[in-house]
């Protein structure tokens, strides 16, 4: 019976990054990695996590997405602004083109296959850019911006976020204003066609987007996976995502 229960759990594919090692036996080596908080959050929400490494072959990327019931887009490096037809500003930080190409393709393929998606931090920005949106290369481009890169432990709330009511995201929270952590310097600017805003910070910076429709497609700018251990309501976002992925389990 236990084996049957595990088999029926949805499989969540977690998009990884490439880490360039420094000061090790093999300096300059690229390693596939993801912060373990994502793995723990997916399991706590009742799904089976698997890591999807960065690859370039489109047919292989499609096979990655076909094998999972939902796709988790994670945080990471800046997105190359050439993907949204902008030249790099001086505030732009490290980019990794191979990671961009993999994650943008994965998001587009997942949409074509009607797979639920949850974007976290950079993952939200990937969702936006993948479908025609643009980014602030640095939130300081917003004249009224507050501090969005906090200097404290990862689970500590950094600022307030206003949840837009009657959105998919609002079903995860029973309040209009929540406290979130914040570790980003880029943000959504022009929203991709078909998406709407589901959360904003007090300074007006977009803290979340989603695509209304039958397939769960939600992005949020903060890191609920880092907060879930101390703030259980943050796990609700993952539970809602996993519940949507369950509908694709055969």
In sequence order, what DSSP letters do the residues of 188-249 get, joined into one string?
E-SPPTT-EEEEEETTS-EEEEE--SSS-EEEESS-HHHHTTT-GGGHHHHHHHHHHHHTT-
Question: Three-class SS of residue 12?
Answer: strand
Catalytic positions? 121, 223, 225
Selection from 183, 195, 202, 236 nearest residue 219 by Cα: 195
Can you tell me the distance from the alpha carbon of 145 to that of 139, in angstroms, rounded to the nearest whole number?
7
| Token pair listed for 87 | 């030249």
Can you tell me the distance from the alpha carbon of 250 to that of 186, in angstroms, rounded to the nearest whole number?
38
Q: What is the dihedral of CA 145, 148, 149, 154, to 10 degrees?
A: 160
């Amino acid at each position: 019976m236990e084996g049957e229960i595990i088999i029926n759990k949805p499989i969540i594919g977690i998009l990884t990054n490439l880490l360039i090692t420094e000061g090790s036996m093999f300096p300059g080596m690229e390693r596939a990695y993801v912060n373990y908080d994502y793995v723990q959050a997916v399991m706590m929400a009742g799904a089976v996590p698997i890591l999807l490494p960065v690859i370039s072959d489109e047919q292989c990327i499609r096979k990655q997405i076909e094998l999972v019931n939902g796709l988790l887009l994670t945080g990471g490096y800046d997105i190359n602004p050439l993907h949204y037809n902008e030249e790099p500003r001086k505030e732009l930080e490290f980019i990794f083109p191979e990671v961009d190409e993999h994650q943008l393709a994965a998001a587009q393929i997942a949409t074509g296959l009607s797979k639920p998606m949850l974007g976290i931090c950079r993952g939200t920005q990937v969702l936006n850019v993948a479908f025609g949106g643009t980014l602030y290369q640095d939130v300081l481009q917003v004249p009224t911006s507050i501090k969005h890169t906090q200097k404290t432990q990862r689970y500590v709330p950094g600022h307030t976020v206003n949840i837009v009511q009657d959105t998919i995201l609002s079903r995860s929270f029973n309040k209009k204003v929540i406290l979130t952590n914040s570790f980003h310097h880029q943000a959504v600017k022009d929203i991709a066609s078909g998406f709407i805003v589901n959360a904003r910070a007090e300074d007006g910076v977009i803290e979340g987007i989603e695509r209304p429709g039958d397939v769960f497609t939600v992005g949020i700018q903060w890191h609920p996976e880092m907060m879930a251990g101390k703030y259980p309501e943050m796990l609700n976002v993952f539970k809602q995502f996993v519940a949507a992925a369950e509908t694709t389990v055969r």
